[in-house]
Amino acid sequence: MDISGTAALVTGASRGLGEALALELALQGARVVLVSRTRHALEPIVRRICERGGEAHALEADLGSKEDIYPLAGAATALVGPIDLLIHNASELGPTPLRLLLDTECEDFERVLAVNLLGPFRLSRVIGGSMALRERGAIVHVSSDAAVNAYPNWGAYSVSKAALDHLARVFAAELDARSVRSFSVDPGEMDTRMHAAALPDADPRTLARPAQVASQIVALIRARSVPNGARVEASNAGAYS
Amino acid sequence: MKAASAPRSAPGQERLLVIDPQSGNYGDFSIRDLPEFFGAGDALVLNDAATLPASLWVAEDLELRLMSRFEDGTWLAIAFGGGDFRLPTEQRGTPRVLVVGTDTGFGHGLSARVVSVDPASPRLVRLAFHQYGSELWQALYRAARPIQYAYLSQPLALWDVQNAYGARPWAVELPSAGKPLNFEALFRIAARGVTVSYVTHAAGLSSTGDALLDARLPVAERYEVSESSAAQIRAARARGGRVIAVGTSVTRALEAASSAGTLRSGGAHTDLILGPGSPLHTCDALLSGLHEPGTSHFSLLEAFAPRALLERSFRHAEREGYLEHEFGDSCLILRGGLRVTELRRAG
B108 touches chain A (CB under 8 A): no
B167 touches chain A (CB under 8 A): yes
β-bridge partners, B107: B110
Q: Is the pLDDT of residue A108 over 60?
A: yes
Q: Where are the strands (E) in chain B, listed by range?
A: 2-3, 15-20, 25-30, 43-47, 55-59, 62-69, 75-80, 103-107, 110-117, 124-129, 195-201, 221-225, 243-246, 266-270, 285-289, 323-324, 330-333
Domains and their CATH numbers in chain B: 2-51+156-346 (3.40.1780.10), 55-143 (2.40.10.240)
Give the Cα separation of A163 and B238 in Å (integer). Answer: 47
β-bridge partners, B55: B65, B145
Q: pLDDT (tens digit, 9 = 90+) per residue, A5-26?
A: 999 999 999 999 999 999 999 9
Overall pTM > 0.90: yes
Q: If you average pLDDT over residues B214-226, what whole number do you get?
A: 91
CA count, 13 A, side-chain hemisphere, A163:
16
CB pairs under 8 A between A and B: 71
Is there a contact between A59 and B138 if contact means CB atoms under 8 Å apart?
yes
pLDDT of residue B343: 61
Gap from A181 CA to chain B (nearest CA, Å): 17
Q: Is the pLDDT of residue B296 over 90?
A: no
> What confidence tier does A211 reach under pLDDT thresholds 50, 70, 90?
very high
Give the Cα separation of B39 and B343 in Å (integer). Answer: 14
Gap from B328 CA to chain A (nearest CA, Å): 22
Please check whether residue B225 is in contact with residue B254, taking contact to mean a CB–CB distance below 8 angstroms. yes
Greatest distance between any 2 Cα atoms in chain B: 70
Q: If you average pLDDT over residues B50-66, what whole number do you get?
A: 96
Domains and their CATH numbers in chain A: 7-239 (3.40.50.720)
Gap from B288 CA to chain A (nearest CA, Å): 19
Q: Look at residue B304 and give its three-state secondary structure.
A: coil
Give the Cα separation of B85 and B156 in Å (integer). Answer: 10
Q: Which positions in chain B touch A82 (Cβ < 8 Å)?
A: 48, 167-168
Q: pLDDT (tens digit, 9 = 90+) per residue, B148-165?
A: 999 999 999 999 999 999
Q: What is the ipTM of this complex?
A: 0.96
Q: Which 8-47 residues of chain A touch chain B by CB within 8 A?
A: 33, 39
Please check whether residue A60 is in contact with residue B138, taking contact to mean a CB–CB distance below 8 angstroms. yes
- Name the residue type at position A161: K
Q: At a CB cut-off of 8 Å and minimum separation 6, what does A114 contact?
A: A63, A64, A65, A92
Query: Which residue among A79, A132, A177 sits closest to B165, beta carbon to beta carbon?
Result: A132
Q: Give me the active site residues of A, please.
A: 157
* Residue A107, number of CB atoms within 10 A of its CB: 8
Is there a contact between B169 and A74 if contact means CB atoms under 8 Å apart?
yes
Percent of chain B with pLDDT over 70: 98
SS (H, E, C) B126-158: EEEECCCHHHHHHHHHHHCECCCCCCCCCCCCH
Q: pLDDT (tens digit, 9 = 90+) per residue, B322-346?
A: 999 999 999 999 999 998 666 666 5
DSSP 8-state assignment for residue A208: B
Query: Which residue among A60, A81, A178 sits closest to B138, beta carbon to beta carbon?
Result: A60
User: Cα B187 to chain center, whole Å?
Assistant: 22
Please check whether residue A165 is in contact with residue A143, taking contact to mean a CB–CB distance below 8 angstroms. yes
Q: Across the beta sheet with B43-47, what order do the strands follow? A: B25-30, B15-20, B330-333, B285-289, B243-246, B43-47, B195-201, B221-225, B266-270
The sign of the dihedral angle between the CA atoms of B171, B175, B176, B178 is: negative
Going from the C-alpha of B167 to that of each of A121, B59, B162, the distances in angstroms are 17, 31, 9
Q: Nearest to residue A136, comparing CAs of A77, A179, A92?
A: A179
Angle value at C-alpha B276, between B271 and B277, nearest 5 degrees: 95
Q: pLDDT (tens digit, 9 = 90+) per residue, B166-186?
A: 999 999 999 999 999 999 999
Is there a contact between A70 and B162 if contact means CB atoms under 8 Å apart?
yes
